[in-house]
Amino acid sequence: MNYAPNKVIGDDEAGFRGVSDEVHRMEGWDFVIAGSGLYNNLDDSFAAGYEDSTFQYPESQPGGGSRALRQQLKILSEFINSVDVVRMAPDNAVIKGTPPDGTARALVERGRVMAIHLRRNSTASGSTNPAAAPDQSTAPSALHVDLSDGTWRAEWLNPTTGSVV
């Protein structure tokens, strides 16, 4: 999605999709695993007079942000810095079949490491509003991956807590 132009592509000042931390966290993971070089979001909890990020924005606000979201985006940063991302490229071909209730993206160094992000569609939860998508990042999903011969180790990282589940 972002890798083909052979230029660094960024999602700068992401937001405007509601106040839910989940939608902004999932957007970050999706964009980074798709091969981007930059992801940052607006954080409406910072405002003049609220430089400590304690501004309580209204639910009608077009964007979001919170200390919890910044911690969750730190998990994304730590993860992507734990792999040799320079040697990796988006390669969804390693994923065989599409999860019936969402999308799957893969960032891969063939034969060595794969990072796969699964995202449930909001319609799978009965909602048609992407900003209302529930966080089901720890829910099981069928996934078939084309692995080269050898021994592989799999970990399921909870992007909300950073724990391996």
164 within domain boundaries: no
In this predicted model, what pLDDT tens digit does every residue of 54-88 receive, in sequence order?
Answer: 888 888 888 888 899 999 999 999 999 999 988 99
35 within domain boundaries: yes
Give the pLDDT mean for 32-50.
Answer: 87
Is the pLDDT at 129 greater than 50, yes or no?
Answer: no
52 within domain boundaries: yes
Give the mean pLDDT of the chain.
82
CA 46, 20, 14, 159 dihedral sign is positive
> How many domains does the chain divide into?
1
161 within domain boundaries: no
Cα(88)–Cα(81) distance, integer angstroms: 12
139 within domain boundaries: no
Q: What is the pTM of this model?
A: 0.80
Cα(60)–Cα(151) distance, integer angstroms: 50
117 within domain boundaries: no
* CB count in 10 Å sphere of residue 15: 20
- Tokens in use for 53? 């990020």
Q: Which pLDDT does position 130 carry in this prediction?
A: 42
Q: Which pLDDT does position 149 carry in this prediction?
A: 92
In this predicted model, what pLDDT tens digit does every residue of 134-151 receive, in sequence order?
Answer: 444 445 556 789 999 999
Confirm if 134 and 25 have CB atoms less than 8 A apart. no
Beta bridge partners of 115: 107
